């Protein structure tokens, strides 16, 4: 076994042993002096929503179950490993997109949010279904993994697309990919939250605005600099998502994700050494995985904000499967 091969595996272990470490370095501000997060300073008790409207998302679970129960829809071809298989789908998708002008979303309200959640959840399910070893899992384990990682998958997937388009100057610096076919300008998009909270959009900016999260910009900058290949990007997505699932779920999910991650580490080793003829790749892999750590940091911030919103009844809605929306 080569030294580089060992480095892939130990990289995974190092990240696992650092599972719940949360950065606490925050610049001094009014919120620090008062001992409360900035968002809480603008809370008005009379706007709290103690009675929730429940949004039933069980139909999304059904859609995912149908996807996971379908036979492989890819045309029969011989692949050296599953990263090659995922690569073909990703390249076909990008080929379709490259021929189109990307529409800019001007308004995001209830309908747009619901459509975003549905299309993203379904896309993540289809992507997971193509990973080697995933189809062998019990359906309940597949659903558990999907529910915990679909937004994480979307985060890195959309940031990588944004980086690609910004590199090619198809998107400006303040414009981000939002769905598979649309982008949004953070400075001009109108966000309507009346359907889910009694607070104004201005009061919710701390909670919602991605521009306030510097890790988004840093992630894009690093992706532009590194310019990962599609095979590398798929490995980053797999590592990011399955490791997160193993941290959140344990048990059967932990056993399954560890096994799949080992398969993908072997596949990536094959890709570097036999396809790219790059026997010494540990330095590049380390840089790529640092991008994943940035995404993980951003996700921790999102989860913390969600906990604050629940504590103070900020939102007037809840979900039939709330565990699916911890990272939204």
Pairwise CA distance, residues 52 & 315, whole Å: 8
Tokens of 171: 């998107």
Strands (E), the chain: 53-55, 104-105, 107-108, 175-177, 183-185, 190-191, 317-319
Does 38 fall in a domain?
no
What number is the average pLDDT over the span 141-145?
93
- Going by C-alpha positions, the residue among 246, 185, 312, 310 that lies closest to residue 328 is 310
Does 85 fall in a domain?
no
In the predicted model, is pLDDT for residue 42 greater than 70?
no
| Average pLDDT in the chain | 80
List phi, psi (to 5°) of 131.
Answer: -80, 130
Pairwise CA distance, residues 233 & 160, whole Å: 8
CATH of the domain at 203: 1.10.565.10
At 147-171, the pLDDT tens digits run 999 999 999 999 999 999 999 989 9
- Going by C-alpha positions, the residue among 184, 160, 181, 219 that lies closest to residue 98 is 181
Poorest-confidence range of 40-49, 128-137, 207-216, 265-274?
207-216
Domain count within the chain: 1
At 226-244, the pLDDT tens digits run 999 999 999 999 999 999 9
CB hemisphere CA count around 282 (13 angstroms): 12
Can you give the pTM of this predicted structure?
0.81
In the predicted model, is pLDDT for residue 105 greater than 80?
yes
In the predicted model, is pLDDT for residue 104 greater than 50?
yes
Does 18 fall in a domain?
no
The parent domain of residue 251 ranges over: 55-79+102-324
pLDDT of residue 312: 86
Does 253 fall in a domain?
yes
List phi, psi (to 5°) of 35.
Answer: 75, 20
Top pLDDT among 39 and 138 is at 138
């Amino acid at each position: 076994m080569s030294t580089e091969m060992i480095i892939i595996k130990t990289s995974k272990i190092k990240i696992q042993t650092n599972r719940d470490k949360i950065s606490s370095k925050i610049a001094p501000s009014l919120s620090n002096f008062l001992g409360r997060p900035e968002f809480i300073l603008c809370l008005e008790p009379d706007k709290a929503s103690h009675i929730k409207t429940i949004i039933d998302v069980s139909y999304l679970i059904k859609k995912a179950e149908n996807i996971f129960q379908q036979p492989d829809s890819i045309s029969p071809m011989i692949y050296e490993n599953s990263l090659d298989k995922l690569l073909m789908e990703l390249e076909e998708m990008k080929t379709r997109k490259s021929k189109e002008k990307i529409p800019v979303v001007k308004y995001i309200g209830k309908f747009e949010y619901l459509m975003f959640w549905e299309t993203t959840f379904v896309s993540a399910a289809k992507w997971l279904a193509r990973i080697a070893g995933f189809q062998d899992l019990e359906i309940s384990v597949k659903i558990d993994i999907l529910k915990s990682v679909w937004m994480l998958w979307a985060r890195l997937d959309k940031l990588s697309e944004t980086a690609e388009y910004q590199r090619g100057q198809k998107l400006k610096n303040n414009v981000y990919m939002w769905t598979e076919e649309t982008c949004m300008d953070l400075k001009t998009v109108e966000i309507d939250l009346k359907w889910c909270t009694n607070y104004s959009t201005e009061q919710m900016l701390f909670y919602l605005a991605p521009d306030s999260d510097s890790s988004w910009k840093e992630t894009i900058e690093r992706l532009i600099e590194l310019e990962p290949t599609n095979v590398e990007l798929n490995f980053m997505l797999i590592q990011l998502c399955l490791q997160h699932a193993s941290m959140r779920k344990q048990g059967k999910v932990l056993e399954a994700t560890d096994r799949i991650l080992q398969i993908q580490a072997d596949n990536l080793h094959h890709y570097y050494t036999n396809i790219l003829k790059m026997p010494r790749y540990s330095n590049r892999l380390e840089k790529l995985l640092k991008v994943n750590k940035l995404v993980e940091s951003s996700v921790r911030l999102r989860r913390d904000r969600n906990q604050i919103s629940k504590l103070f009844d900020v939102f007037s809605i809840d979900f039939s499967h709330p565990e699916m929306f911890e990272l939204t």
